[in-house]
Amino acid sequence: MKKSKNTLGKVLLVLMIIFFYLPILYMIIFSFNEGKSLTNFSGFSLRWYEHMLESRDMMEALYTTFSIALIATFVSTVVGTITAIGLSKSKKIVRDTMAQVNNLPMMNPEIVTAIGFMLLFITFKVEKGYMTMLLAHIAFCIPYVILSVMPKVRSLDPNLADAALDLGATPMQTLIKVIVPQITPGIVSGALIAFTMSIDDFIISYFVTGSGVKNLSIIVYTMSKRINPSINAVSTLVVVIITVALVIINVVPMFMAKREKKEEIGKKKMVVPAIAGVCVLAVVCLVFGMKKEASQAPYAGQTLYVYMPGEYIGENVVPDFEELTGAKVVMENFDSNEQMYIKVANGESYDLLIPSDYMIQRLMEEKYLQKIDTSKLFNYEDLDDAVKGAAFDPNDEYSVSYFWGTVGIVYDKTVVDIKDLEEQGYGIFLNEKYKGNIYLYDSERDSFMMALKNLGYSMNTESEDELQDAYEWLVQCVETMEPEIVTDEIIDNMAQGRKALGLCYSGDATYIMYENENMGFYMPEEGTNLWFDSMVIPANAENPELAYEFIDFVSSYDYAYDNSSYVGYTSPNAEVAMELAGEGGDYEGINAYVPRIDFENDEVFVYNEDTRKIIANLWSKVKIAASNAN
Within a 13 Å sphere around the CA of 428, how many CA atoms are in the beta-carbon half?
30
Residue ranges per domain, the chain? 2-49, 56-289, 303-398+533-581, 407-530+595-629
Closest CA to 521 of 404, 412, 405: 412
pLDDT of residue 293: 47
Alpha helix (H) ranges present in 381-520?
418-424, 444-454, 464-480, 489-495, 506-515
Spatial distance between the Cα atoms of 67 and 203, rounded to a whole number of angstroms: 18
407-530+595-629: same fold as 303-398+533-581?
Answer: yes
Does domain 303-398+533-581 correspond to CATH entry 3.40.1550.10?
no
Spatial distance between the Cα atoms of 292 and 617, rounded to a whole number of angstroms: 49
Q: What is the full DSSP assignment across 265-306?
A: HHHHTTHHHHHHHHHHHHHHHHHHH--PPPPS-TTTT-EEEE
pLDDT of residue 481: 95
Output the CATH code of domain 56-289: 1.10.3720.10
pLDDT of residue 292: 45
pLDDT of residue 257: 65
The three-class DSSP label of residue 330 is strand
Amino acid at 430: L
DSSP label at 598? S
Spatial distance between the Cα atoms of 351 and 165, rounded to a whole number of angstroms: 62
Amino acid at 269: K
Output the CATH code of domain 407-530+595-629: 3.40.190.10
Spatial distance between the Cα atoms of 96 and 529, rounded to a whole number of angstroms: 60
The DSSP element (H or E) to which 534 belongs, if any, is: strand 531-535
Spatial distance between the Cα atoms of 348 and 365, rounded to a whole number of angstroms: 18
569-579 as b/e: b if 16+ CB within 10 A: bbbbbbebbeb
User: 328-334 and 303-309 as β-strands: parallel, antiparallel, unpaired?
Assistant: parallel
pLDDT of residue 444: 93
pLDDT of residue 38: 67
pLDDT of residue 173: 85
DSSP label at 316? T
Closest CA to 452 of 478, 425, 412, 431: 425
- Name, in order, each residue with C-beta under 8 angstroms of 296's C-beta and a sequence gap of 6 or more: 326
Spatial distance between the Cα atoms of 126 and 118, rounded to a whole number of angstroms: 10
pLDDT of residue 241: 80
Instruction: For residue range 525-552, list pLDDT tens digits in order.
Output: 999 999 999 999 999 999 999 999 999 9
Please say whether the beta carbons of 348 and 306 come within 8 A.
no
Spatial distance between the Cα atoms of 535 and 563, rounded to a whole number of angstroms: 14
Within a 13 Å sphere around the CA of 423, how many CA atoms are in the beta-carbon half?
7
Low-confidence ranges of the chain (pLDDT < 70): 1-5, 37-39, 224-228, 249, 252-296, 630
291 class by beta-carbon count within 10 Å (0-12 exposed, 13-18 middle, 19+ buried): exposed
